[in-house]
Amino acid sequence: MSTLLSVRDLRVTFPITRAGDMPWTAPRPLRAVNGVSFDLEPGQTLGVVGESGCGKSTMARGLINMVPATGQVLWEGKTDLIPLSPRAMKPYRAQIQMIFQDPLASLNPRMTVGRIIAEPLLTHRPDLSAEDRRKRVDAMMERVGLLPQMINRYPHEFSGGQCQRIGIARALVVEPKLLICDEPVSALDVSIQAQVVDLLKELQRDLGLAMIFIAHDLSVVKNISHDVMVLYLGRVMEKAPRRTLYADPQHPYTQALLSAVPVPDPVIERAKGIIPLDGDMPSPMAPPSGCVFRTRCPRAQADCAQIVPSVQGGDHVVACLHPGPVQEAETV
Amino acid sequence: MVATTENNVATAQVTKGRSPWADARRRFFRNKAAVFGLLLLVIVTLFALFGGFLAQWSNEELDYNVMGQVAELGGPSIASGHYFGTDDLGRDLFARTVQGTQISLAVGVVGALIAIVVGTLYGATAGYVGGRVDGIMMRLVDILMAIPYMFVLILLLVMYGRSITMLFVGVGLISWMDMSRIVRGQTLSLKGREYVEAARATGVSAPVIILRHIVPNLAGVIIVYATLLVPLMILTESFISFLGLGVQEPLTSLGALIAEGAGTISYGTVWQLAFPLLFFVLTLFGFFFVGDGLRDALDPKDR
């Protein structure tokens, strides 16, 4: 099978005009996503992790033309989605659906669940009769574990987990090939998180969905992804198959993130070394020279400020001048 | 979860959802002042619609018996058939009040309707499209608002003659601007919501998003503002009529009646002022109470 989605050098730049700037002052660029590349095979999941504000969500929105992006997003090896007009993009929107972070906020409070789930059908399959539409909505509700007799209820009558199921049903009712999940479980209780992740895995297996799964929780990503990509300040730091990344992280940032994941065993947890990261992420309007991570990197050296590490590589991509396993001196 | 689904499907019926509208209705009817206001409005509307059937006299007929002795003979009385008395020319004030209430309500409701339709679509479009389009559309509103509308309205009525149509046109021209500003502001906050983003991501076109996602969620604000706009329109019309530029005789409005009544109050004919004023005040109270109640009932923070 051919690659479903092939992304090359995706960039999203926002022009920022600060309050008090003169009208003729050129707006300063905020590079939210800065040269991200990856491939996604059908039926595979790419996990995307990183701190808040590292450009995860913006990357997802750039992929589907929700924010102006540059670069190349090749769909099924044929069509570049970036230059498409909204009209030309429409058929692809049926094939790429999205689910959102806040389950309740992503559902229109004035619409019944049935109408919410039917909306993509109404948009992309206007040929369907009302009865057919209803049948598909019913089937989809059952598929995601909702009672079809709740079809006339309103979103505020559902719990967070149920709302996310509604969001998933809405996304899958048009039978997409790619599902972009923008932190779909971050707003849910841990027990519900597991249910939703299991549901997504099950649906992926049955429907052959490809997924881009965005999260800031590495343990959730570990559960669902085939490949994992770590972003920092809009750049790829490390990308590898899940096993490789979790067993043998090479980038100090990935190592720091992994060391922060709590282990539900007090003995191991206490014995485990933590790599502390000082300070906050620098402003994406004024990123550090060279390697963007160098300001917080325990391994930073003089050359890190001069050379931008390349992100070339095969299966396991590491954007670091001094990659390698964790060193004893770095942990606390 | 899936297993229970299958068990229940056969037995359970489709349950009806509790819509945000049903919730709001329940809250509204729990509010005593709002229900009282609604009752007032119903009474005033019934009076305007069916009061004519109770009247013994038409609004144009002159009662020659009371002419010239209005202060002595023209007072309110059941016996003479002038329930509210007569005006200075001997015309039945009951019939004229019914007629005036009709005109005033019509002006208010038509003005508010124009505001709702034009103001909502204009404001929602400006807010949703944003950017330069928004800038141009809202600056146009700013410019129009900077023109003293009463002056323009009076000029219109003087130039094109006093007629109800002209009055509707004039009131409609001014009423939508405030509405469009309010709607635009609300739209700006709504268009960042995730459900609008979800609709955009799935490829729903902008006009459909505005009509399906933005406007229904603005409805609360729009309805509340419209109920407060109706009395404003009635007041505007009354002011115009008070100046003597409103509707043409023999048609009349509450404002015109109040103006007449105020002019003749020194002759001892208090009822000529009292009855139109009573209905005027009741209408305004009704709308304000209902508007207040709706605002409380539709406030999403209360949910």
Of B12, B16, B202, the CB nearest to A93: B202
Q: Give A260-307 pLDDT, tens digit per residue.
A: 888 888 888 777 778 888 778 888 888 888 888 888 888 888 888 888
Q: How many domains does one find in chain B? A: 1
Please check whether residue B192 lies inside any domain of the structure: yes
A305-328 per-position pLDDT tens digit:
888 888 767 788 888 888 888 877
What pLDDT does residue A144 have?
A: 92
Query: What is the per-residue pLDDT across B240-253, written as a single tens digit (0 to 9) for each?
Result: 877 777 777 777 88
Res. A33: pLDDT tops 70: yes
For the domain that residue A242 is a member of, what is the CATH number? Answer: 3.40.50.300
Instruction: Say how many domains are in chain A.
Output: 1
Structure tokens given for A325? 């396993």
Indicate yes or no: CB of B217 within 8 angstroms of CB of A64. Answer: no
Flag whether B32 is in a domain. no
Q: Is B44 a member of any domain? A: no
Assess whether pLDDT exceeds 80 at residue A163.
yes
Residue A123 belongs to a domain? no
B197 contact residues in A (CB cutoff 8 A) = 66, 100, 106
CB contact, 8 Å: B189 with chain A? no
Give domain status of residue B8, yes or no: no
What CATH number does the domain containing B223 carry? 1.10.3720.10
Determine the distance from the C-alpha atom of residue A258 to the mean position of all C-alpha atoms in its chain, rounded to a whole number: 18
CA distance, residue A30 to nearest chain B CA (Å)? 19
Q: Which of B254, B262, B261, B260 minimizes the C-alpha distance to B238?
A: B254
Whether A106 and B216 lie within 8 Å, measured CB to CB: no
* Domain membership flag for residue A291: yes
CB contact under 8 A, A147 and B5: yes
Residue A132 scores a pLDDT above 50: yes
Examine residue A231 and state whether it is found in any structural domain, yes or no: yes
Q: Is A207 on the interface with B (CB under 8 A)?
A: no
What ipTM score was computed for the predicted complex, to two decimals? 0.84
Question: Residue A145 and residue B2: Cβ atoms within 8 Å?
Answer: yes
Residue A233's domain spans which residues?
5-109+177-330
> Which pLDDT score, from 0 to 100, does residue B299 have?
67
